[in-house]
Amino acid sequence: MKEETKVSIAAMIGIAFEFYDFLIFGFVSSTLAALFFPSHNKLVSLLDTLAVFATGFAGRPLGAIVFGHLGDKIGRKYTLIITMTLMGLSSLFTGLLPGYAVLGILAPALLTTLRLLQGFSLGGEFGGGITLTAEFAKPTNRALYVGVAQMAQGIGPLMATGLIFIFSNIMTPHAFSSIGWRLLFVIGAFIAVIGVIIRLKITESPVFKRVKDKGEISRVPLVEAFKTHWKKILLGLGFIVGGTTLTYATSVFATSYLETIIGVPAKEVSLALTIGYVVEAISIFIFAMVADKVGRKPMMIATAVGLLILVYPYFYLISTGQFPLIVLAQTLIAIVGSFGTGAYAAALTELFPTKVRYTALSFDYHVGVAVFGGTTPFIATYLIYATGYRLAPVFWGIAGMIVTLIAYSLYKETKGVTFEGQERVA
């Protein structure tokens, strides 16, 4: 197996686990709400739980800075091993944490702390995995290999919803609320062990090693990135806004919305999302190959325009509560959202030089996700609570995608860009 293939698969597994572990909290938020925030008002309990979900995103920018610094100073490989280990430990302890009935107020406090640790570790994961993959790939197929890693955005949630579907079918609701959700987090810890083993076997980025051998490592990557590339950082941040908003609106929020507000059985919700994630993983791979042929910008623009058109029909379809229409909505959003998934990630790596790439990419991604992803389930739920209008989240999704469409329009094509020293190692 080629080293670039091995690295992209390792990145995919690692990022998939991180998405699994991070999103599983949101997918079982209705269960956690009853266990850690008991209240007579289910919507209030859910809002409290989604607020804790959002706090995990507060740790992501800090993790992006810390691990981005390490990744640009000591290397990509061992930094990614550290992030995976931390994520696995936080997952394990979350699964073992007693609820409010046992620990009282200490239970939600510890849950919030573990959530922050998850966010901190994830802050170094995505940027590192995508950076390492892009630096191994040749310029002519970079979007493809990055797209393989990006398939994690479908595979990670797929593992989560698939297991939830299985557990909800073999367990009673009481058994799932007492032990089932805990097993989901413990399983995540075991996946982390596998991820660490895989990452120990891959090699360091040849592009990074060349920069290091030449003595061109940045003293303080974050400072240098902002000093010399602040315009590109702002542009990259714009890439993240719309997709992140809709990703969390159509996954974490959609799960709570369908189960708590619309009253759709959890089994149907998890099955519909599982089907959507299968379609998403396949679509990401296909459209990543297209991005290497036609360029990044056309695919990115197609995603933004397509999602702007689709956002209202999506929420309308799922609000019916009819299973076939929910599956249709998840399938459509998965396909359209995949047009530019590999393209935008490849473009982000191509915007920055090697010595600050890990830091700049991680900062853009995780600040964007923290501000617009972590708050989306809470804001979407609150909009419904405040207005009484079931389709109110549509306006939040449209606003986010307009920002991203503007950023995509300002982006200058980077297809075929060669990284420093890559001509000697590709």
Tokens 């459509």 locate to 332
Q: What is the DSSP letter of 141?
A: G
Which of 137, 69, 64 minimizes the C-alpha distance to 350? Answer: 137
Residue 95 binned pLDDT confidence (cut-offs 50, 70, 90): very high
- Least confident interval from 13-22, 244-253, 413-422: 13-22
Which of 176, 131, 149, 152 minimizes the C-alpha distance to 23? Answer: 152
Which of 288, 324, 259 minimizes the C-alpha distance to 145? Answer: 288
More confidently predicted of 105 and 41:
105
Q: What's the confidence (pLDDT) of residue 22?
A: 64
Q: What's the confidence (pLDDT) of residue 425?
A: 42
Q: What's the confidence (pLDDT) of residue 98?
A: 92
Q: What is the DSSP letter of 28?
A: T
pLDDT at 90 over 60: yes
| Residue 194 structure tokens | 């596998």
Instruction: Tell me how far CA of residue 415 lies from CA of 253, 261, 273, 302, in angstroms.
Output: 35, 44, 33, 16
More confidently predicted of 156 and 232:
232
- For the chain, the helix, strand and coil percentages under 3-state DSSP, each to the nearest 5: 85, 0, 15
Backbone angles phi, psi at 348, to 5 degrees: -60, -40
- 64-78 per-position pLDDT tens digit: 999 999 999 999 999
Maximum average pLDDT range among 80-89, 122-131, 214-223, 326-335: 326-335
pLDDT at 406 over 50: yes
Backbone angles phi, psi at 388, to 5 degrees: 75, 5
Residue 225 binned pLDDT confidence (cut-offs 50, 70, 90): very high
Q: What's the confidence (pLDDT) of residue 76?
A: 92
Q: What's the confidence (pLDDT) of residue 421?
A: 59
Q: What's the confidence (pLDDT) of residue 220?
A: 93
Residue 423 binned pLDDT confidence (cut-offs 50, 70, 90): low
CB 315 within 8 A of CB 262: no
Cα dihedral sign for 131, 273, 310, 374? Answer: negative
Which of 265, 344, 313 minimizes the C-alpha distance to 30? Answer: 265
- 165-198 per-position pLDDT tens digit: 888 788 888 888 889 889 999 998 888 888 888 8
CB 56 within 8 A of CB 119: yes
Given its phi and psi angles, is residue 104 left (phi above 0), alpha (psi -120 to 50 degrees) or beta? left
Domain ranges, ordered by start, for the chain: 3-200+219-415
Number of residues assigned to the chain: 426
Which of 82, 211, 66 minimizes the C-alpha distance to 135? Answer: 211
Output the furthest CA–CA distance in the chain (Å, rounded): 65
Which of 377, 334, 367 minimizes the C-alpha distance to 248? Answer: 377
Sequence-distant (≥ 6) Cβ neighbours of residue 154 within 8 angstroms: 277, 278, 279, 280, 281, 282, 283, 284, 334, 338
The domain over range 3-200+219-415 is classified in CATH as 1.20.1250.20:
yes
Burial (CB < 10 A; 0-12, 13-18, 19+), residue 219, is exposed
User: Average of pLDDT values for 73-86?
Assistant: 91
Sequence-distant (≥ 6) Cβ neighbours of residue 231 within 8 angstroms: none
Instruction: Tell me how far CA of residue 171 lies from CA of 66, 91, 95, 181, 265, in angstroms.
Output: 41, 22, 17, 11, 14
pLDDT at 424 over 70: no
More confidently predicted of 6 and 401:
401
| Residue 348 structure tokens | 């982000």
- 5-56 per-position pLDDT tens digit: 888 888 888 788 767 876 787 778 878 888 888 877 777 787 788 788 777 7
Residue 307 binned pLDDT confidence (cut-offs 50, 70, 90): very high
- Least confident interval from 11-20, 202-211, 231-240: 11-20
CB 415 within 8 A of CB 344: no
What is the pTM assigned to this prediction?
0.85
CA distance 65 to 123: 8
- 130-172 per-position pLDDT tens digit: 999 999 999 999 999 999 999 988 888 888 878 888 887 888 8
At 250, the amino acid letter reads T
CA distance 390 to 385: 9
The per-residue pLDDT of the chain, averaged, comes to 88
Give percent of the chain above pLDDT 70. Answer: 98
CA distance 331 to 314: 10
Burial (CB < 10 A; 0-12, 13-18, 19+), residue 236, is buried
Residue 205, helix vs strand vs coil = coil
Q: What is the DSSP string of 106-138?
A: HHHHHHHHHHHHHHHHHTTHHHHHHHHHHHHS-
Residue 318 CA from chain centroid, whole number: 22
